[in-house]
Structure 1
């Protein structure tokens, strides 16, 4: 009995010591304990659902949904990459994949080729923009998602893939040999005039800086002495490539960007490491609201050093750095680990994802909390809202009729029909939509549906709603009826009024059929407000220097 009490006492003491130890552990590591506890709850929940739920469940799908919902609470850039999506992720970050070299998409419910890349299997095999996808190998893809079709088309280089498409009334079958596809970061470069070079930088995948260097060397050999670098619509990419692009224009040893996060291991300062290719050439960088991440680093760093004049519109405002971390079973997570800061000291992140409103939505940084910084020459720049241009160009808006013709794919469909009937057109820089061609397009539209609501008609609809709500409608009904009659849009008249912008959209669509992505960019050089402003700034060197040196006129 005595031994039993003794043993009981020992057990009690040990239990108390363990409890005290555990309590101390929890106090010191309450976050780790909470994490372990909730992971155990989550695993238990999935097991019990699998056992007891009335219908069969797919645990893998359920867990993936749970992971994605959890990550949505953080920011849009932290994402889970399961093993089956690793090839797509690799393609986005490196620009390389094994496939046929074609952009596919869905227009008006139909899966089709949107752009075959010049020189790759799809284009070499005769596939065209607008070809409707019917089969890939033995799989009927008419009802598949574009992501599923993309996976079917991709595969190891030098393997065969059968593709069947519908073109008009014809069904066409081709056997393609997949290749290693490397998409250039510079889809086009050339001369705007005898002295001005132009480089379109569309991405920051592997070799972005090398692609820009090669283009600039070639342009300099053609005698240019000023340059427009276009990073509009560039979503960013590899940080190292952004640093090297900046290094083409500023000296060795200059800070381009620093990253600061919670862990010491992610803190780093990136400096230029080479002699510049040209540190003096007058430079304008084109930016817009879809220029993000690495594109903002390039634009912002060159602005901070007063090395380039920025023309266009305020950039997207992504100042967050992502690191890819391997997980078990070949999955990965791309997680935000730091914020980046450009040479003036500013972070251009526009949305604070750590703070949510009552609806759970993140908010933009208010103007009152934006801080001022200075460029090398003393110009005032601010953080917290992307990179602001030195010369602002208002965003272009389109008439409702133009928007309707594009949204309903009527201009796209006409492009397909035109291409089937015409073997060639003039070069991208010379091709124009003549009045005769435009009338042919208008005639083609006669039996097509493209109704729309004008801005004034929409305003009148809103007025009627408010009038009915506030009991004024009866009083103003005759006036409303008269106004509706006067502003009721006439499609035939709108086709005349907005002829120029419809012609512009039509021209781009037709050129894409014959000259692909490169041709569309080249053709736009003659009709681009941002480029016109860039040329004005570059040609007027006094203005160029005034902007950069912060001198008064």
Structure 2
């Protein structure tokens, strides 16, 4: 009937593809039929390089919601934020649009432009962003030392195939690290094995995560292996927010359940389902939700998220001081400058490129709180 009466001519192959897409998208927000273009995009994103804007999407309350922009990408630099709801891509409404369709429309050749219309809580009207696409190269792990301490700052922006090897490298290069701030803010997730292997660096026994589907017999417990653990004693503070989802929720939730870390920040996104990718042929695949994740305590993440142990909203640290202390600090600075003039060789300079400085810390109250948590954990032993 469609072939005979539809306004435009449509091939049987297109009809079958659209039927499959409709069938899968009506199961849940994450199941999908991946045509050749969508399947290629998925493979590119897990390999750590692709072309587009640098946005990770999810469906929340049936709205196309930005889980997080990837750091340093066109979307991030343009001012896109976690929690923004996409209303239009170019002039097309996103109402009823699948996640894969949205991703496909936003990806494209580098240096081409695209308009994204978003709704942001607190704004009186929608905001239109004109963004230039680029090659998205995801550096998944950033490591820095924290000024005036032996603590290590590890930022994981997404769980691609390089995460565990990069974190292992950082730990081995800093054997005297006395604490870790693990920053998972705006981390949309990624590969499950990278999340569990990361946990295993700090936990040497017990269940890390459980997958439960319709068939109880198919329950899968991922257990920690003692020989894989590198450091089970070092104090850890984990930073999360509303852009932390999926694999980052597994990591933060498991560390919280096992009392291996203190979680700081805001409630996470709440994406706790497992998708299987099954190739139909070399060009197409099926992405099907087959299970839900459960944390070591047995609780679920799905639609619930992780509630931090210490809730801290983003902002700057209040460094207000009285007139006297301000003058005193100026005097200190003057004295430091004089000492530098006398003997520059004896003054230890901070390598700002590889260090989280006091200025960085004072601009981020969540980070400041995490560092303070490490101090307390060290005192408690």
Shorter-chain TM-score: which interval?
A: 0.5 to 0.7
Instruction: Give yes or no for contact 2:273–2:302 (8 Å, CA) kept in 1.
Output: yes
Say what the alpha-carbon RMSD is for the aligned residues. Answer: 4.1
Instruction: Give yes or no for contact 2:145–2:355 (8 Å, CA) kept in 1.
Output: no
Distance 1:193 1:83 in 2: 52
| Distance change in 2, residues 1:147/1:317 (3 Å) | closer
Aligned to 2:368: 532
Aligned to 2:222: 270
Name the SS for the 1:200 alignment partner: strand
Distance 1:164 1:77 in 2: 28
Aligned to 2:339: none
Name the SS for the 2:141 alignment partner: coil
Distance 1:96 1:68 in 2: 26
Per-residue deviation, 1:540 = 2.4
Distance 2:246 2:357 in 1: 22
Decide which of 280, 289, 296 is 1:336's aligned counterpart: 289
Higher relative contact order (CA 8 A, sep 6+): 2
Query: More helix by proportion, 1 or 2?
Result: 1
> Matches of residues 50-449 of structure 1 in structure 2 within 5 Å?
50-57=3-10, 59-96=12-49, 103=53, 150-152=107-109, 183-218=138-173, 220-221=174-175, 223-251=176-204, 253-263=205-215, 266-273=218-225, 274-327=227-280, 330-350=283-303, 385-394=304-313
Per-residue deviation, 1:61 = 4.5
Instruction: Give yes or no for contact 2:315–2:363 (8 Å, CA) kept in 1.
Output: no
Aligned to 1:37: none
| Distance change in 2, residues 1:236/1:539 (3 Å) | same
Give the TM-score, by structure 1 length.
Answer: 0.46
Instruction: Give yes or no for contact 1:326–1:332 (8 Å, CA) kept in 2.
Output: yes
| Distance change in 2, residues 1:55/1:540 (3 Å) | closer
Q: Deviations over 1:7-26 (max 9, x none)?
A: xxxxxxxxxxxxxxxxxxxx
Name the SS for the 1:92 alignment partner: helix
Per-residue deviation, 1:183 = 3.1
Distance 1:150 1:519 in 2: 34
Name the SS for the 2:370 alignment partner: helix
Name the SS for the 1:540 alignment partner: helix
Instruction: Give yes or no for contact 1:537–1:543 (8 Å, CA) kept in 2.
Output: no
Aligned length: 292
> Matches of residues 499-538 of structure 1 in structure 2 within 5 Å?
524-538=360-374
Instruction: Give yes or no for contact 1:266–1:337 (8 Å, CA) kept in 2.
Output: no
Distance 1:78 1:522 in 2: 45
Instruction: Give yes or no for contact 2:71–2:157 (8 Å, CA) kept in 1.
Output: no
Per-residue deviation, 1:343 = 1.1
Give the TM-score, by structure 2 length.
Answer: 0.65
Per-residue deviation, 1:323 = 0.5
Name the SS for the 2:248 alignment partner: helix
Distance 1:310 1:295 in 2: 12
Instruction: Give yes or no for contact 1:314–1:389 (8 Å, CA) kept in 2.
Output: yes
Instruction: Give yes or no for contact 2:158–2:189 (8 Å, CA) kept in 1.
Output: yes
Gaps of 5+ in 1: 1-47, 106-113, 119-128, 131-141, 154-162, 166-177, 351-384, 398-427, 431-514, 546-553
Per-residue deviation, 1:331 = 1.4
| Distance change in 2, residues 1:237/1:266 (3 Å) | farther
Distance 1:311 1:522 in 2: 19
Q: Deviations over 1:460-481 (max 9, x none)?
A: xxxxxxxxxxxxxxxxxxxxxx
Per-residue deviation, 1:65 = 4.1
> Matches of residues 35-46 of structure 1 in structure 2 within 5 Å?
none
Per-residue deviation, 1:69 = 3.5
Distance 1:232 1:115 in 2: 11
Distance 2:277 2:287 in 1: 4
Per-residue deviation, 1:535 = 1.6
Q: Which has the larger radius of gyration?
A: 1
Per-residue deviation, 1:392 = 0.8
Per-residue deviation, 1:388 = 1.1
Gaps of 5+ in 2: 56-68, 79-89, 92-101, 114-134, 317-349
Instruction: Give yes or no for contact 2:239–2:366 (8 Å, CA) kept in 1.
Output: yes
Name the SS for the 2:202 alignment partner: coil
Query: More strand by proportion, 1 or 2?
Result: 2
| Distance change in 2, residues 1:542/1:282 (3 Å) | closer
Per-residue deviation, 1:526 = 3.9
Q: Deviations over 1:355-374 (max 9, x none)?
A: xxxxxxxxxxxxxxxxxxxx
Per-residue deviation, 1:64 = 4.0
Distance 2:23 2:280 in 1: 16
